[in-house]
Chains A and B, each alone.
Chain A
Amino acid sequence: MSQELNRNYTVLKQKADPPPYFLSYEVTEQEFHSVSGTLGTVDAANSGKSRAMDVSVRVGTPKLDNYHRVRGDRGQFTSGALISFEDNVNSIKRRLWLETDRAYRTAAERLIRIKTNTQVRVAEADDSDDFTTEQPSVSVQAPPDLKFSEAEWTARIRELSGRFKNYPSVLTSHVSAQGQTDTKYLVNTEGSRLEHGRGFARVVINASAKAADGTDLNTFETFESVDAAGLPDEKTLLAAVDRVANDLSRLLKAPDAEPFVGPAIFSGRAAGVFFHEIFGHRVEGHRQKDESEGQTFTKSVGVKVLPDFLSVVFDPTRKKIGGIDLNGWYDYDDEGVKARPVNAVEKGVLKTFLMSRSPIKGFEQSNGHGRRQPGFEVVSRQSNLIVESSNAVPEAKLRQMLIDEVKKQNKPYGLYFRDITGGFTTTQRAGLQAFKVIPVIVYRVYTDGRPDELVRGADIVGTPLASFSKILATSDKPEVFNGYCGAESGSVPVSAVAPAILVSEIEIEKKAKSNDRPPLLPEPTTMENNTRGGQR
Chain B
Amino acid sequence: MKPLVVLGALAGVLGALLALSAQGPPAAPDPVFQAMKDEMDRARSLTVSNLEAPYFIQYVIDEDDNFGVTANLGGLLTERHDRFRSPEVDVRVGDYKFDNTNYVGSGFGFGSRYDLERFPLENAYPVLRRYLWLETDSSYKSAVEAISRKRAALRNLTQSEQLNDFSHAEPVHLVRDFSKPATDRDAWAKRVRSLSAIFAQYPDVKNSGVELESSVGGYYLMNSEGAQVREPENVTYLRARATGQAADGMTVRDAVTFHSLDAARMPGDAELKRGVTALAENVVALAHSPKGEDYSGPVLFEGMAGAQILAEVLGRNLALGRKPAGDGGRGGGGFLNSELEGRMGARVLPDSFEVVDDPTQKEWRGRPLFGSYEVDREGVMAKPTRLIEKGVLKNYLLTRQPVRGYEGSNGHARLPGPYGANAATIGNLFVSSTDTVPAAELKKKLIDLCRARSKPYGIIVRKMDFPSSATAGEVRQLLSGQQGGRPVSMPILVYKIYPDGHEELVRGLRFRGLNARSLKDILAAGDDSAAFEYLDNTAPFALMGGAGFTAEACVVAPSILIDDLELHPVEEELPKLPVVPAPDLVRSDLVR
- In the complex formed, the residue of B with least CB distance to A4 is B583
Q: Beta-carbon contacts of A296-320 to B below 8 Å, as 1s and 0s?
A: 0000000000000000000000000
Min CB–CB distance A366 → chain B (angstroms): 28
A11 interface contact, C-beta 8 A: yes
The smallest beta-carbon distance between A460 and chain B, in angstroms, is: 24
B83 to chain A, nearest CB (A): 6
Residues of chain A from 63 to 114 with CB closer than 8 A to chain B in the complex: 82-98, 100-101, 104-105
Residues 312-342 of A, flagged 1 when their CB comes within 8 A of B and 0 if not, give: 0000000000000000000000000000000
B134 partner, pick from A44, A85, A172, beta carbons under 8 A: A172
Q: Are B43 and A48 in contact (CB under 8 A)?
A: no
Which A residues are in CB contact (< 8 Å) with B48? Answer: 517, 520
User: Given A8-B580, A84-B71, is A41 in contact with B133 using a C-beta cutoff of 8 Å?
Assistant: no
Indicate whether A7 reaches chain B with its CB closer than 8 angstroms: yes
Chain A contacts for B71, CB-based, 8 A: 84, 91
**Interfacial chain B residues near A4, Cβ < 8 Å:** 583
With A520-B46, A521-B46 already in contact, the answer to whether A91 and B140 are too (CB < 8 A) is no
Tell me which of A11, A100, A525 has the highest count of chain B C-beta atoms within 10 A of its own C-beta.
A525
Q: Which of A498-536 contact B (CB under 8 A)?
A: 514, 516-521, 523-525, 528
B137 interface contact, C-beta 8 A = yes
Interface size class of A (residues with CB under 8 A): 35 or more
Contacts of B337 in A (CB 8 A): none
- The minimal Cβ–Cβ distance linking B23 to chain A, given in whole angstroms, is 25
Partner-contacting stretch, out of B74-82, B99-107, B315-323: B74-82
Specify which chain A residues have a CB less than 8 angstroms from the CB of B111 in the assembled complex. Answer: 516
Q: How far is the CA of A517 from the CA of B141 in the complex (A)?
A: 9
Closest B residue to A171 using CB positions: B114
The interface residues of chain B lying within 8 Å CB-to-CB of A285 are none
B575 A105 Cβ-Cβ under 8 A: yes
Residues from 106 to 130 in B contacting A, C-beta threshold 8 Å: 111-116, 118-122, 124-127, 129-130
Is B130 touching A98 in the complex (CB atoms < 8 A)?
no
- Contact assessment for A46 and B586 in the assembled complex, using a CB-CB cutoff below 8 Å: no
Q: Are B580 and A525 closer than 8 Å at their CB atoms?
A: no
Q: Are B42 and A90 in contact (CB under 8 A)?
A: no
* Residues A42 and B122 in contact, CB atoms below 8 Å apart: yes
B578 contacts A by Cβ under 8 Å: yes
Check B140 against A42 for contact (C-beta < 8 Å).
Answer: no
B80 cross-chain contacts in A, Cβ below 8 A: 46-48
Q: Is the CB of A44 within 8 A of B118?
A: yes
Contact A520 B140 (CB under 8 A): yes
Contact among A11, A218, A518, A524 with B581 in the assembled complex (CB-CB below 8 Å):
A11
Residues in A3-20 with C-beta less than 8 Å from chain B: 4, 7-8, 11-12, 15-16
- A12 CA to B579 CA in the complex, in Å? 7
A212 within 8 A of partner (CB)? no
- What's the Cα separation between A96 and B580 when bound, in Å? 12
* Contact A91-B73, Cβ < 8 Å, known A36-B118, A42-B121, A48-B79: yes
Which of B45-94 touch A at CB < 8 Å? Answer: 45-48, 70-84
Closest Cβ of chain B: how far from A59's Cβ, in Å?
A: 12
Q: Which residue of B lies closest to A43 (CB)?
A: B118
* Residue A253 at the chain B interface, CB threshold 8 Å: no
Whether A88 contacts B74 by the Cβ 8 Å rule is yes
Given A91-B74, A100-B580, A208-B114; A41-B127 close (CB under 8 Å)? yes
Residue B72 contacts which of A84, A521, A525 (CB distance < 8 angstroms)? A84
| B residues less than 8 Å from A140 (CB atoms) | none
| A40, A90, A104: residue with the most chain B Cβ atoms closer than 10 Å | A90
Contact across chains for B120 and A43 when beta carbons are under 8 A apart: yes
- A88 contacts B590, CB within 8 Å? yes
Number of residues in B with C-beta < 8 Å to the partner? 65
Interface string of A391-414 (1 = CB under 8 A from B): 000000000000000000000000
Is residue A50 within 8 Å, beta carbon to beta carbon, of the partner chain? yes
CB neighbours of A94 from chain B (8 A): 72-73, 207, 582-583, 585
Q: Cβ of A41: which chain B residues have Cβ within 8 Å of it?
A: 120-122, 124, 127
B165 to chain A, nearest CB (A): 23
A229 an interface residue at 8 Å Cβ cutoff? Answer: no
Q: Does B441 contact A (CB under 8 A)?
A: no
Specify the chain B residue showing the minimal Cβ separation from A165.
Answer: B126
| Minimal Cβ-Cβ distance residue in A for B122 | A41
B residues less than 8 Å from A44 (CB atoms):
82-84, 118, 121
Q: Is the CB of B121 within 8 A of A43?
A: yes
> Complex: how many Å from CA A171 to CA B120?
14
Q: Which residue of B is nearest A17, CB measured?
A: B579
Q: Is the CB of A88 within 8 A of B73?
A: yes
Establish whether residues A88 and B75, one from each chain, have CB atoms under 8 Å apart when the complex forms: yes
Check if A115 is an interface residue, CB within 8 A of chain B: no
Name the interface residues of B564-592: CB closer than 8 Å to any CB of A: 575, 578-583, 585-586, 589-592
Give a binary string over B324-364; 1 marks a CB under 8 Å from any A CB, 0 the rest: 00000000000000000000000000000000000000000
CB of B586 within 8 A of CB of A523, answer: no
B293 within 8 A of A: no
* Known pairs A88-B591, A90-B73, A94-B583; A525 contacts B130 (CB<8 A): yes
Asked if B38 CB lies within 8 Å of chain A CBs, one says yes
A38 within 8 A of B: yes
Identity of the chain B residue whose Cβ is nearest the Cβ of A525 in the assembled complex: B126
Query: Max chain A CB contacts within 10 Å: which of B70, B78, B116, B193?
Result: B78
- State how many angstroms separate the Cβ of A393 from the closest Cβ of chain B: 40
Residues on the A chain within 8 Å of B78, using CB: 48-50, 82, 85
Instruction: Say yes or no: A172 contacts B114, CB within 8 Å.
Output: yes
B11 to chain A, nearest CB (A): 24
Q: Say how far B138's CB is from chain A's closest CB, in angstroms.
A: 9
The answer, yes or no, to whether A174 is at the interface (CB within 8 Å) is yes
| 5 nearest CB pairs, A to B | A84-B75, A88-B75, A91-B75, A91-B73, A525-B126
A interface residues with partner B (beta carbon < 8 Å): 4, 7-8, 11-12, 15-16, 36, 38-50, 82-98, 100-101, 104-105, 171-172, 174, 206, 208, 210, 216, 218, 514, 516-521, 523-525, 528
Task: List 17 additional contacts besides A12-B580, A90-B73, A523-B130; criterion CB under 8 Å.
Answer: A42-B120, A44-B121, A47-B81, A83-B72, A84-B76, A91-B73, A91-B75, A94-B583, A97-B578, A97-B583, A101-B579, A171-B115, A210-B112, A216-B113, A218-B115, A516-B141, A524-B126
Cross-chain pairs A/B with CB under 8 angstroms, 20 sampled: A8-B580, A12-B579, A36-B118, A42-B120, A42-B122, A46-B81, A49-B78, A82-B77, A90-B73, A91-B75, A97-B578, A101-B578, A101-B579, A206-B115, A208-B115, A210-B112, A514-B112, A519-B137, A521-B43, A525-B126
